Structure 1
Amino acid sequence: MDNRPIGVFDSGLGGLSAVRSLRRILPGEQLIYFGDTSRVPYGGRSRETILKYARQDVRFLRSFDLKAILIACGTVSTTSLEMLREENDLPMVGVVEPTCRRAVEVTRRGRVGLIATHASVRSGVYETTIGALDKKVEVVARACPLFVPLVENGRFRPGDVVIDTVAREYLEPMRESGIDTLILGCTHYPLLSDVIRGVMGDGVELISAGEESAFELKRTLKARGLLRDCQQGEATYYVSDRVDDFEQIASWFLQEDLHHEANRIDIDRY
């Protein structure tokens, strides 16, 4: 048994969808969440800048006595995870490997779609990871840069003409390509599940990066004897920009009424 908390971070508040999964899959764990809301999104940044930001995020979280970190950011997972693992002596789980394994398991025709940020798509990590699991599986990737800012501004509900229009532009070519599985390669995207299904149809299986990484973290902690023996854990939230409206936005991702304010920190100190 290990009562130390788990750190979770993302470029913004999308990683709270992973927190939601963690609270369901590992309900007894203490969670410390950091959302880098002053610099969201990471997806259009250079690889060097993303690594710089990720190192700062990790240094902040490691100011607490953590037992593991879940990187709930697809961009960091695809560009910086291996370097962060080399630099830190605690378990780190990203969203790519577990998500790719699940996609390979469920695809029926061997055609998997990926939607993610520009940086994640450019990295080619999903294609490489899926190819190592099954060379016969083809990946059709598409960057969707407008999804993150739209979600963070509450434009994620079906019937919203803005998100519906953007989703059709991004997703109709993928639907026409014949994919049967679609990886939501950013933890903001689960809020768009209904919008995405409206374009893709019920025959396409959606794979949530946040949910699969939460299952992976549970397996990792169990294998290392690091699980916490408790019925109910708590979560503490930190952001790098204004805390105004945090409760409302966080409630969207957590899908519950939240009555905890976030704490603002100066991420440039780390």
Structure 2
Amino acid sequence: MTESHAGAARPVGVFDSGVGGLSILRSLRAQLPAESFVYLADAGFAPYGERGDAFVIERTRAVVRQLRDVHEIKALVIACNTATAAAVHLVRTEHPDLPLVGVEPALKPAVALSRTRRIGVMATRGTVNSGKLRALHDSLKDQAEFILQPCDGLADAIQNHDTAKINALCEQYTEAMAPWGGLPGQVDTLVLGCTHYAFAWNTLQALVGPDVRLIETGEPVARQTRRLLEAAGQAQADDAPGRVTLLTTGSQAPLEAAAHRWLGL
């Protein structure tokens, strides 16, 4: 095996504070079926969204070191909005040789889709308060009105598959952003600014109604990952399906159950 082929055979690392990043992994596997992935859920230190930046930076650095040193990843997807907002710039500086993709709430695509120019954004408190989101918001605020809604507890409820709590919190937070719909003055687009929230898609769509477009970030992240791998000459050329390795700093059972439930693994 040549050195380039050996490099291409290495896995792509995917990292989140919990199971939410499985929504990104689902899109990655659809776009890159031959690639192998190592998914690490830092569940032993979750939730990130209600922690300070210093904590999230420390955990992100530790996870990246583990994925590089132990699993020899060839690229990294930070499948967590909170970790991206707090730490992606540091990871880029400290690992300049590592192809890296972060996630951020899809405000730009929402502007392109919205007709009423009123857009709801659901995210963790850490993401809502981040300088990265504020800068993105400020760059677009002349094009649309954004209703930024911190959703305390929702990622944790999805992490624990607590259906009753998921339903109650989704109802609480969508009511806070209402009215929804396609008429002037109504919110017609909802950005899911946490990777966990994709797994509450059906609940949220039912609450906001069929006229409202929901946007999540899995497909754009997968496309960007493919572009970076191809540009680096690291894309897996083998047609055989890649492997998926699931790791967690918490209990393995919830991660395996979520991967079975949402990815069919």
TM range (shorter): 0.7 to 0.9
Partner of 1:166: 169
- Unaligned residue ranges in structure 1 (runs of 5+): 259-270
1:237 Cα deviation after fit? 1.1
Measured in 2, the distance between the counterparts of 1:124 and 1:111 equals 22
Match runs of 1:3-152 below 5 Å: 3-63=9-69, 64-89=71-96, 90-96=98-104, 99-132=106-139, 135-152=142-159
Letter in 2 for 1:105: A
Superposition CA RMSD, Å = 2.0
1:109 deviation in Å? 2.9
Shift of 1:118: 0.7
What's the secondary structure of 1:230's corresponding residue?
coil
Q: Is the 8 A contact 2:111 2:143 kept in 1?
A: no
Tell me: CA distance 1:187–1:49, structure 2 relative to 1, closer, same or farther (3 Å). same
Q: Residue type of the partner of 1:112?
A: I
Amino acid at match of 1:196: L
CA distance in 1, matches of 2:95, 2:130: 22
Q: Please report how far the alpha carbon of residue 130 of structure 1 lies from its aligned counterpart in structure 2 after TM superposition.
A: 4.9
- Asked if 1 retains the 8 angstrom alpha-carbon contact of 2:160 and 2:254, the reply is no
Alignment of structure 1 residues 221-236 onto 2, 5 Å: 221-231=229-239, 232-236=241-245
One-letter amino acid of the structure 2 residue matched with residue 76 of structure 1: A
Give 1:87 deviation, angstroms. Answer: 0.9
Deviation at 1:134, TM superposition (A): 7.3
Task: Find the residue that maps to 2:119 and give its secondary structure.
Answer: strand
**Whole-angstrom CA distance in 1 between matches of 2:203 and 2:88:** 30
CA deviation map 1:14-41 (0-9, x unaligned)? 1111111111111111101100111111
CA contact (8 A) 1:8 1:70 kept: yes
Does the Cα contact within 8 Å between 1:100 and 1:126 map onto a contact in 2? no
Q: Which amino acid is 1:61 matched to?
A: L
- Partner residue in 1 for 2:196: 188
1:206 matches 2:214: yes
User: C-alpha displacement at 1:124, in angstroms?
Assistant: 4.5
Give the residue type in structure 2 aligned to 1:122.
N
Counterpart secondary structure, 2:77: strand
Distance change >3 Å, CA 137–CA 224, structure 1 → 2: farther
Partners in 1 of 2:259 and 2:75 — Cα distance? 22
Q: How far apart in 2 are the matches of 1:138 and 1:219?
A: 32
Mapped partners of 2:236, 2:189: distance in 1: 34
1:149: Cα distance to partner? 1.6
Secondary structure in 1 matching 2:253: coil
Alpha-carbon contact 1:18-1:214 (below 8 Å) kept:
yes
Instruction: Give the Cα separation in 1 of the matches to 2:112 and 2:223.
Output: 15
**1:253 matches 2:262:** yes
The separation in 1 between residues aligned to 2:160 and 2:122, in whole angstroms, is: 19
What residue ranges of structure 2 are gaps of 5+ in the alignment? Answer: 180-184
- CA distance in structure 1 between the partners assigned to 2:251 and 2:176 by the alignment: 38
Could you say what secondary structure the match of 2:47 adopts?
coil
**In 2 relative to 1, CA 131–227 (structure 1 residues): closer, same or farther, beyond 3 Å?**
farther
